[in-house]
Amino acid sequence: MTTNTDIATLRANYVAAWATGVGIGLVVFMVTWIVANRVTARLMSVPSGPILAMSLAILAGTGVALRQGVRLSRPYTQK
C-alpha cells in the first residue's frame, strides 16, 4: 500500500518529532537535576553542589533532546 504525503504533512511530522525530542530532553533534565542535586548536596558544599548538578542536568537534557530530535525526525526529512 502506497500513500502520498504532501510537503505540509511531512513538515508537520518533522516539527512534531522535534517537539517530542525536546520533551524527552526536558524530562531527562528534570530527573538528572533531582538525582544530581541529591548526590552533590551530600558530597559538596552548598554553592558548589547545586551548580554542578545544574550543569550536569543542562548537558544531559540538551544532549538527549538533540539526539532524540535527530533520531525521531530522520524519517521525515526531504530527500
Looking at the structure of the chain, the number of domains it has is 1
State how far the Cα of 49 lies from the Cα of 43, in Å rounded to an integer.
8
Say if residues 16 and 67 touch (Cβ distance below 8 Å): no
Within-domain flag for 37:
yes
Q: Report pTM.
A: 0.80
pLDDT tens-digit map of 15-62? 899 999 999 999 999 999 999 999 998 998 888 889 999 999 999 999
Say if residues 73 and 14 touch (Cβ distance below 8 Å): yes
Within-domain flag for 40:
yes
Structural domain including 54 reads: 28-79
Within-domain flag for 52:
yes
